[in-house]
Amino acid sequence: MNDTLRIAEYALTAVPFTLLIALVANIVVLAARPSASQARPKAKAAVLAGGPAQPVEVARVAAAAKTSRRPTGLAAYATGFTWISFLLVTAYLVARMSVTGHGPFSNSHEFITSFVWGIVLAYLITEWVVGLRVLSVAVLPVAFCLALYALRLGSEVDPLRPALQNNLLLFLHVGFAILAYGAASVSFAAAVLLLLRDKPKFGRFIKVSEDKLDDVGYKAAVITFPLLTLMIVLGAVWANIAWGRYWSWDPKETAALVTWLVYGAFLHARVVRGWRGRKAAWLLLLGFATIFVAYFGNYIFGGLHSYAT
């Protein structure tokens, strides 16, 4: 194995550990943080009393209800270790690209590692833009499990198969898939939390309204759907170049189409039919499940995409 890749694999090996540290830190932060509903009665009592502590109490409640974009204390460590995970995966992928001369998307190991990269990137952007740290308890476990799985897969560098020897389409087709799946992981996390927030065992961590989670899941799906569309269109163009036809009803193609249809159905149900809350959340879970069916279908059904196993 190339020395560069050997060193880079140490970085990849560290990723599950940094993700696990980030996850544990986030759980501790969320468990210790008071919810707005818990703090509101205290603020109301202070207002009624009209005492000198009123402005301080109101300010404290407002601060507790709003997640800062600049985390402090243990929250800063949680975000920091998430960033470390992202940078380690990025360094590994860049090192692999420098050795292979193409995007890291030609086999299962490379794709799963890139999937981890897309998930962590999507979460970090969402945490910064929306400020919902609670999403980490559903997003980071997925990234953690996939990172462990990537370490179990063979990481050997093999020559590209003839069907893959189109660097531009390889990068664009699979790159859009990675970005789409990353955004889908955020919508999945929002859906999971929405379904669990009323459960006593999980309520102590999920201190955010159902409407907020519903909105985040919807916006993430709005990003996922056009990225999936670009992935399928570029894949069809590439298929025509490589195999002489745009569509073959290959198992992976079919599974990708099903994923696209599920997210399209979610957006239709949300916008046209007014689906919100739990019904919409179940559709998002179904959509995320079809992503894994599309991936693992190679192992079960084979097909034209079986070279990626």
Are both 69 and 13 inside the same structural domain?
yes
Structurally, how many domains does the chain consist of? 2
Residue 14 lies in domain? 1-158
Give yes or no for a contact between 237 and 165, defined as CB atoms under 8 angstroms apart: no
The per-residue pLDDT for 40 is: 47
Are both 117 and 28 inside the same structural domain?
yes
- What are the pLDDT digits (tens) for 279-301? 899 999 999 999 998 887 666 65
Give percent above pLDDT 70 in the chain.
79
Instruction: Tell me the average pLDDT across 11-38.
Output: 84
Are both 28 and 140 inside the same structural domain?
yes
Alpha-carbon dihedral of residues 112, 114, 117, 123, nearest 10 degrees? Answer: -70
- What are the pLDDT digits (tens) for 179-228? 999 999 999 999 999 999 888 777 777 888 889 999 999 999 999 999 99
Rounded-to-integer distance, Cα 173 and Cα 178, Å: 9
- Of 123, 139, 158, the residue that ends a domain is 158
Are both 131 and 172 inside the same structural domain?
no
Are both 45 and 122 inside the same structural domain?
yes
The per-residue pLDDT for 286 is: 95
The per-residue pLDDT for 137 is: 93
Measure Cα distances from 184 to 34, 88, 257, 287, 300 in Å: 29, 22, 15, 8, 23
Are both 16 and 58 inside the same structural domain?
yes
Q: What is the mean pLDDT of the chain?
A: 82
- Total-model pTM: 0.84
Are both 136 and 183 inside the same structural domain?
no
For residue 202, which phi and psi values (nearest 5 degrees)?
-110, -15
Are both 132 and 211 inside the same structural domain?
no
- What are the pLDDT digits (tens) for 57-110? 444 544 444 444 577 788 999 999 999 999 999 999 999 888 877 777 778 888
Give yes or no for a contact between 208 and 134, defined as CB atoms under 8 angstroms apart: yes
- Of 128, 158, 188, the residue that ends a domain is 158
Are both 75 and 129 inside the same structural domain?
yes
Of residues 266 and 297, more confidently modeled? 266
- What are the pLDDT digits (tens) for 123-170? 999 999 998 999 999 999 999 999 999 999 877 777 666 666 666 777
Give yes or no for a contact between 163 and 307, defined as CB atoms under 8 angstroms apart: yes
Rounded-to-integer distance, Cα 143 and Cα 150, Å: 10
Are both 3 and 123 inside the same structural domain?
yes
- Of 111, 137, 158, the residue that ends a domain is 158
Are both 120 and 225 inside the same structural domain?
no
Are both 89 and 201 inside the same structural domain?
no
